[in-house]
Amino acid sequence: MSKNEMIQITYREAVREAIREALRRDERVFLLGEDVGRYGGCFAVSKGLLEEFGPERIIDTPLSESGFTGAGIGAALGGMRPIVEIMTVNFSLLAADQIINNAATFLHMSGGCFNVPLVIRMSTGGGKQLAAQHSHSLEGWYAHIPGIKVLTPATLEDARGMLWSALEDPDPVLIFEHQSLLNMEGQLPANAGAVDIDRAQIRRPGSDLSVITYGASLFKALEAAEILAGEGIEVEVIDLRTLRPLDDATFLTSIASTHRALIVDEGWRSGGISAEICARIMEGAFYELDAPVERICGAEVPMPYAKHLEEAAMPQVEAIVTTAKRMVRSNG
């Protein structure tokens, strides 16, 4: 396989390849979750893995989110490297006790006796008309909690590379895979591997405005940036990649040269990660700002089913373009 060989791959396949690689590289790794085996995964991410690795390592669980997430924590304490799959972030609330009260606290509560090397993957986000119990973006809410790490891979490279780094981490890591990205297709080096999980990335450089985003909103921001470039506005697009720990240095540095910041977050505005980012900007870049920080967030409603309402409830390219123009141009 040549070093530069590129392969055509979907986000779903990239995640699957990452899981497959992990299962091959480390015999302590196993996948645990609802319908990950025979069914092939609710979103078909783990399709084919049962046949390849057998039922001892691809474990179907009953509908017991708290039970099997807690079992994942216990297995991690017992020397394994479990990957727990929870179908959607909404369902993870049934396991919130285990994630927040156990996984996040164990190391600290035990004064350093016990760490929990666990990875929990779950889908997140809207755009598929799955309504108010399957579409929310609670990753920012999890980012509130010390003791866990929160990853939001947007690109194929990150979908492929973050899992291994997460498994190597000694502490619990939550990975949020956006539902609308699963079918995204593109090119990836055939030998793509682990990537860092603690730095934000500038996905497009620009001098007039910093757009700070993550997950599926990244691609909306990039599309908006392309449109804005046609109108002479150069937008710097920052993909946070990891919401906890938050790499604020990258966006603060960017703002120091653009002097304007727009946050695009599919999560709700009130008390969300966008509010946290905004606060960090106030603390770290107040004197760099030439305009108020603005946010485009999910509308504050439970996600509606109807297509047009769902679209209206989520950040869209047009809103990014309009807001960016208003922020950059005078007399707005």
* Residues 232 to 261 in contact with other proteins, rule: CB under 8 A: 257, 259
Closer to other proteins by Cβ: residue 182 or 327: 327
Q: How far is the CB of 72 from other proteins (least distance, A)?
A: 6
Examine the residue annotation and report whether 144 is marked as an active-site residue of this protein: no
Closer to other proteins by Cβ: residue 221 or 255: 255
The Cβ of residue 300 has, within 10 Å, a number of other Cβ atoms equal to: 10
Q: Pick from 5, 8, 232, 292: which binds other proteins (CB under 8 A)?
A: 292
Q: Does 210 bind other proteins (CB under 8 A)?
A: no
The active-site residue, picked from 65, 139, 177, 266, is 65
Preceding peptide of 153 cis, ω within 30°: no
Q: How far is the CB of 10 from other proteins (least distance, A)?
A: 31
Examine the residue annotation and report whether 65 is marked as an active-site residue of this protein: yes
Q: What angle separates helix 156-168 from helix 11-25, to the nearest 10 degrees?
A: 30
Closer to other proteins by Cβ: residue 73 or 212: 73
* Residues 104 to 143 in contact with other proteins, rule: CB under 8 A: 106-115
Closer to other proteins by Cβ: residue 105 or 129: 105
Taking residues 54 to 83 in sequence order and writing x for each that binds other proteins by CB under 8 A, - otherwise, the string is --x--x-xx-x-xxxxxxxxxxxxxxx-x-
The active-site residue, picked from 134, 136, 178, 259, is 134
> 281-289 — which CB contacts under 8 Å span 24+ positions?
281/251, 281/252, 281/255, 284/248, 284/252, 285/252, 285/255, 285/256, 285/261, 288/252, 288/255, 288/256, 288/259, 289/255, 289/259, 289/260, 289/261
The Cβ of residue 126 has, within 10 Å, a number of other Cβ atoms equal to: 24
Q: How far is the CB of 7 from other proteins (least distance, A)?
A: 33
Q: Write the DSSP assignment of 123-154 as a string of letters.
A: EE--SSS-GGGT----HHHHTTSTT-EEE---
Closer to other proteins by Cβ: residue 199 or 307: 199
HEC sequence for 200-265: CEEEECCCCEEEEECCCHHHHHHHHHHHHHHCCCCEEEEECCEEECCCHHHHHHHHHHHCCEEEEE
User: What residues line the site for other proteins (CB under 8 A)?
Assistant: 30, 56, 59, 61-62, 64, 66-80, 82, 97-98, 101-102, 106-115, 146-147, 149, 170-171, 257, 259, 286-292, 326-327, 330-332
| Residues annotated catalytic, as ranges | 65, 134
